[in-house]
Amino acid sequence: MTRLFHKPWAPHKWMRPNEIVTPRLLIARRGQMQLRSAASGGYVSGPMVARKTNSSARKRRPGGGPSALGWFARGLALAALIWIGGFVVFIFSLPGAAAEGTTTEGVVVLTGGPGRLDRGAQVLKAGLAQRLLVSGVHPSVKPKELAKAAGIPDKLASCKVDMGFQADSTRTNAVEVADWVARNKFKSIRLVTASYHMPRARAELEARLPTDVQVVNDGVRAGLPLWSMLVEYAKFQASWLMLRVRPV
């Protein structure tokens, strides 16, 4: 019967005599490989194995610990977890409206969102504050236009409503409010702004007010998408850091 395949040790006509592999030679070579493996602690010597061993040695440090890149990745992951945890605390600690019946000498409204001016006007008309400051008003707005938009009678607006035209950011809002408080010699004010904006606004304001001035939070709830809340949280962190690095 004709064999379809040569035996592994069967010589071919193109092979030189010294290239013929016999069963005895295969067994001998296998024994040598096993001896080399035992002598090297389980690693067989050879070009391919040596390259593999060298590459793994490059990846691992002598002490077996993580590399500099590994430490950097761990630090980055830890920083991300701390940042996310801080954001969760930020969301759940946003202030709401002030307690009903709370009185202060002044009430301050920071423009820039719905419901803020209405809240400030309501406080003034209820007699819960002596004066109202609307900070960040556009220069083109007239006092009567503002009073009409807020539903404040002209007589009340003419003697108890002040308009601030200089502020165009949270920082300049704080400067404008601090000047107004100093001029009127107030010791207590109610701060009206959006709830999400309150932490940053209060941080900027408290950095410029005397320590004996009481600030009452009166946050106006405003729905914001998650992305906008993340941006506001980043702004609050940047503001807090700047106030620590470069105090007012």
Q: Does any domain span residue 56? A: no
Confidence category of residue 22, pLDDT binned at 50, 70, 90: low
Confidence category of residue 7, pLDDT binned at 50, 70, 90: very low
Confidence category of residue 179, pLDDT binned at 50, 70, 90: very high
Q: Does any domain span residue 64? A: no
Given CA atoms 104, 107, 113, 115 in this order, what sign does their dihedral have?
positive
Q: How many CA atoms lie within 13 A of 156 on its CB side?
A: 18
Q: Does any domain span residue 36? A: no
Q: Does any domain span residue 131? A: yes
The pLDDT of residue 3 is above 50: no
Percent of the chain having pLDDT more than 70? 74
CA distances for 172 relative to 3, 167, 169, 206, angstroms: 96, 5, 5, 13
Q: What is the pLDDT of residue 133?
A: 98
CB 20 within 8 A of CB 11: yes
The neighbour count for residue 126, using CB atoms within 10 Å, is 11
Q: Lowest-pLDDT range, 18-27, 42-51, 118-127, 195-204?
A: 42-51
Here the CATH number for the domain that contains residue 161 is 3.40.50.620
Confidence category of residue 167, pLDDT binned at 50, 70, 90: very high
**How confident is the model over 119-142, as a mean pLDDT?**
97
**How confident is the model over 29-44, as a mean pLDDT?**
50
Tokens 């019967």 sit on residue? 1
CA distances for 238 relative to 99, 191, 200, 217, 231, angstroms: 30, 21, 9, 21, 11
Q: What is the pLDDT of residue 1?
A: 47
Q: What is the pLDDT of residue 35?
A: 43
Q: Does any domain span residue 81? A: no
For residue 200, the enclosing domain spans 106-245
Alpha-carbon span 224 to 229, nearest angstrom: 6
- Interval 80-102: pLDDT, tens: 899 999 999 999 999 999 999 99
pTM (2 d.p.): 0.70
Number of domain units in the chain: 1
**How confident is the model over 67-91, as a mean pLDDT?**
91
Q: Does any domain span residue 204? A: yes
Q: Does any domain span residue 214? A: yes
**How confident is the model over 50-64, as a mean pLDDT?**
50
Q: Lowest-pLDDT range, 14-28, 57-71, 76-90?
A: 14-28
Q: Does any domain span residue 90? A: no
DSSP lists the bridge partners of residue 191 as 108, 217
Closest to 198 in 3D by CA, of 167, 146, 239? 239
**How confident is the model over 192-218, as a mean pLDDT?**
97
